Amino acid sequence: MKHGSSSPIILLLSRVLSPYIMLFGMYVIFHGHYSPGGGFQGGALLASSIILIRIAMEEKVHQLHFNKDYGIPLGAIGVLIFFGVGFIALIMGGYFLDYGLLPFPGMITAELRFYGILLIEVGVGLAVMTILVSIYDNLLEEDDDESI
Amino acid sequence: MKYLTYISIGVFALLLIYAAYGLPYRGDPNALVNQEISLTGTPVASSYYIENAMKDANTPNMVTSVLGDYRAFDTLGEEVVIFAAGMICFLLLNRERKREARKQ
Amino acid sequence: MNLFDFIAGHYDYWFIIILLAIGLYGMTVKKNLVKKLIGMTIFQAAVILFYISSAIKADATVPIIMENLSVDNPANYINPLPHALMLTAIVVGVATVGVAFTLLILIYKNYKTLDENELLELMK
């Protein structure tokens, strides 16, 4: 599949729309406590904004946007954020993923749980975004020599 | 052989229609999953989540509270599954690419 | 009248049964592997819809706490547990479809076909 389009309408529209989709994805992740949303949906929205640029632009441009080598390592960091929050709670004397014992000073247990959920949502969003982009990259990479 | 497949699909659909006799009506508030106390006398999970989500985690969205707090270990497993799927795509396709590069 | 009540009271299940039958038809009858994958995705969507439809309660609202609705009465809010389970199942479904496409690409690169009968001939 050839990357990139020559139509100016597609180039302009994808360039305008992509940051707004990304902003909305951030909103969905960080407002997930009060409205429908959370890490999975926000991560899918962030991935869609990146894949929109990948469909519309040529390869030189979209590699500046999000490099394909960063896909798997950033996904691993997302999983490690989740594990790390669990292990911090374990080290502080609670159960695994028991956010009530996270070492943030001056908060009651319910607030600690609130921020623990926020931390793992960020980890989930990062992992989902990078893994979806990485699957897209791997599926479409290097098929110019053989016409599939 | 093809007709046998069609007949088995039809039997499958009829079996599901028969099984629908045991399912609760749509939106029935008295269905077993919506009770506060189950048949065996233990509290039902969903009613517990509805009553205690705000108290336990200060979060108005109960789905986030269930996903991130009560069932966080489940979510951790799902995230590891997603990561493993990404790794499988990366490793399988990259091995194929390296083999092709060696052949040329 | 009783039969009519039964049919009208379970109407969401009939659509789900139709979707399950379509998915099974795609997985068993079709010979192209991509069409089998599409059938599997339809089957998965039907299972997700079944879970979501089991969450519903009459005269209840979405599981986000509002000020004028008391949480002490669980009949005010629909069941949040199937929503949380299916939320993860959807994203995991996307990832598994990615793995399936990877396997299909590898099969096509090795055998140059995706038809089931031709593949069985070639693998002998």
Domain spans in chain B, listed from the N-terminal domain onward? 71-104
Task: State whether the Cα torsion C40-C44-C45-C49 is positive or negative.
Answer: positive
Average pLDDT over residues A124-146: 83
Residues of B in contact with C65 (CB under 8 A): 53-54, 60-62
Question: Structurally, how many domains does chain A consist of?
Answer: 1
Q: Give the pLDDT score at A143.
A: 55
| Contact by Cβ (8 Å): B61, C63 | yes
CA-based nearest distance B28→chain A, Å: 24
Q: Give the pLDDT score at B26.
A: 86
CA separation for the pair A84, A77 (Å, rounded): 10
Q: What is the pLDDT of residues C76-115, one digit of tens each?
A: 888 899 999 998 899 889 888 999 999 999 899 889 999 9
Neighbours of A4 (CB within 10 A): 15
Q: What angle do CA A33, A36, A39 make, to 5 degrees?
A: 70
In a domain, A2, yes or no: no
Q: What is the pLDDT of residues C7-21, one digit of tens each?
A: 888 889 999 999 999
| Contact by Cβ (8 Å): A102, A89 | yes
> Could you tell me where the beta strands, DSSP code E, fall in A32-86?
none
Q: What is the pLDDT of residues A6-21, one digit of tens each?
A: 788 988 999 999 999 9
Domain span at C91: 2-122
In a domain, A146, yes or no: no
For chain B, say whether C22 makes contact (Cβ under 8 Å).
no
Interface test mutation site (partner C, options A72, A136, A139, A142, max chain C beta carbons within 10 A): A139
Average pLDDT over residues A73-101: 90
In a domain, A90, yes or no: yes
Residue A148: pLDDT above 50? Answer: no
Average pLDDT over residues C113-119: 90
Residue C52: pLDDT above 50? Answer: yes
Ranges of residues in chain B whose predicted pLDDT is under 50: none
Q: Give the pLDDT score at B95.
A: 75
Q: Give the pLDDT score at A46.
A: 94
Q: Give the B window 35-94 contacts with C, CB below 8 Å.
A: 36, 45-47, 49-51, 53-54, 60-63, 65-67, 71, 74-75, 78, 81-82, 85-86, 88-89, 92-93
CA separation for the pair A39, A42 (Å, rounded): 5
Question: Structurally, how many domains does chain C consist of?
Answer: 1
For chain C, say whether A133 makes contact (Cβ under 8 Å).
no
In a domain, A113, yes or no: yes
| Contact by Cβ (8 Å): A129, A21 | no
Domain span at A30: 8-140
Between helix A71-91 and helix A109-140 the angle, nearest 10°, is: 160
Q: Give the pLDDT score at A142.
A: 63
Q: Give the A window 22-61 contacts with C, CB below 8 Å.
A: 34-36, 38, 40-41, 43-44
Q: Give the pLDDT score at B54.
A: 86
User: Mean pLDDT, chain A, as a whole number?
Assistant: 87
Strand partners, B61: C64
Q: Which of C94, C101, C108 sits opposite A132 (nearest CB)?
A: C94
Q: Give the pLDDT score at A43.
A: 93
Average pLDDT over residues C57-76: 86
Question: In this complex, do A37 and B64 lie within 8 Å of one another by their Cβ atoms?
Answer: yes
Categorize the per-residue pLDDT at A61 as very low, low, confident or very high, splitting at 50, 70 and 90: confident
CA separation for the pair A124, A120 (Å, rounded): 6
CA separation for the pair B82, B77 (Å, rounded): 9
Residue A110: pLDDT above 90? Answer: no
